[in-house]
A and B are shown apart, each in its own frame.
Chain A
Amino acid sequence: MNPPKATRTVRLSNPEGLHLRAATLIAELVRHYQSKVSLHKGSRRAEATDVLQIATLGAAQGEEVVLEASGDDAEAVLDALVALFRDRFGNEDDANP
């Protein structure tokens, strides 16, 4: 049987876009889950555990990123990721990307 899959679309609301600290937080978060997670911007794809790949997306404010997960906790990891995006990556201070 195929593992459960989940997908979400998020829009970057913070002025800094998907900066390095955001990428690091994403990579750290998904390590706590067993599902395989990827981020997509248009045709570009990044493994969520790989900071360099996420930074290569170059996702800026206002752009959409599609999150995909595959595994038993697919829904849970995407819920947590969406919360991280909504929280603008855990920092009210956007001065430090």
Chain B
Amino acid sequence: MKFANFICREAIRAHLDAADKEGAIREMVQSLLDAGRIAGDECEAIVKAILKREELGSTGIGRGVAVPHAKHPSVEELVGTVAVSGRGVDFASLDGETVHLFFLLVSPPDRPGDHLRALENISRQLRDDTFCRFLKQAKNREDIEQLLDEADNNQFGS
């Protein structure tokens, strides 16, 4: 599954303001709300679902990357966004490092395959150091969109 299939471009954030885990998640969910991809009255429930998932174990999987996610019945298809934090966020990551790159996913409960394929794509691209470096250096949303397009065209990853 390509980024274009699930990343909402309008919700991409090149400069995350939040300094903590909950704040970062709220900011990204708010971006999806502002982009019209989730319903306003479901915003809080989605944030809570993502935080609940984090309680089971951080989705900060090392290398400065986190993939916060949750299932939620209010979405009809997998929707995600990308955010970059210049200063980094303490996400209780497996390797103890702060997180600079975020891929947030919200998926319908009955579509586990889509979630897995999105995760597979994100993981494959993030294994490429060049992709990660360029993403961290992105100055604006357009930079990130271009990187995601290049990744979709197999210019990164193994």
CB neighbours of A97 from chain B (8 A): 69, 71, 112, 115-116
Interface-forming stretch among A32-40, A55-63, A73-81?
A55-63
| Whole-angstrom CA separation of A15 from B94 in the bound complex | 25
Do B56 and A96 touch (CB < 8 A)?
A: yes
Chain B, interface size category, equals 20 to 34
CB neighbours of B62 from chain A (8 A): 51-52
Do B94 and A24 touch (CB < 8 A)?
A: yes
Chain A, interface size category, equals 20 to 34
Nearest-CB distance from B80 to chain A (Å)?
A: 13
From A17, A20, A57, A59, B112 is in contact (CB under 8 Å) with A17
Nearest-CB distance from B130 to chain A (Å)?
A: 15
| Whole-angstrom CA separation of A24 from B61 in the bound complex | 8
Chain B residues near A (Cβ < 8 Å): 52-53, 56-57, 59, 61-63, 65, 67, 69-71, 94, 109, 112-113, 115-117, 119-120, 122-124, 126-127
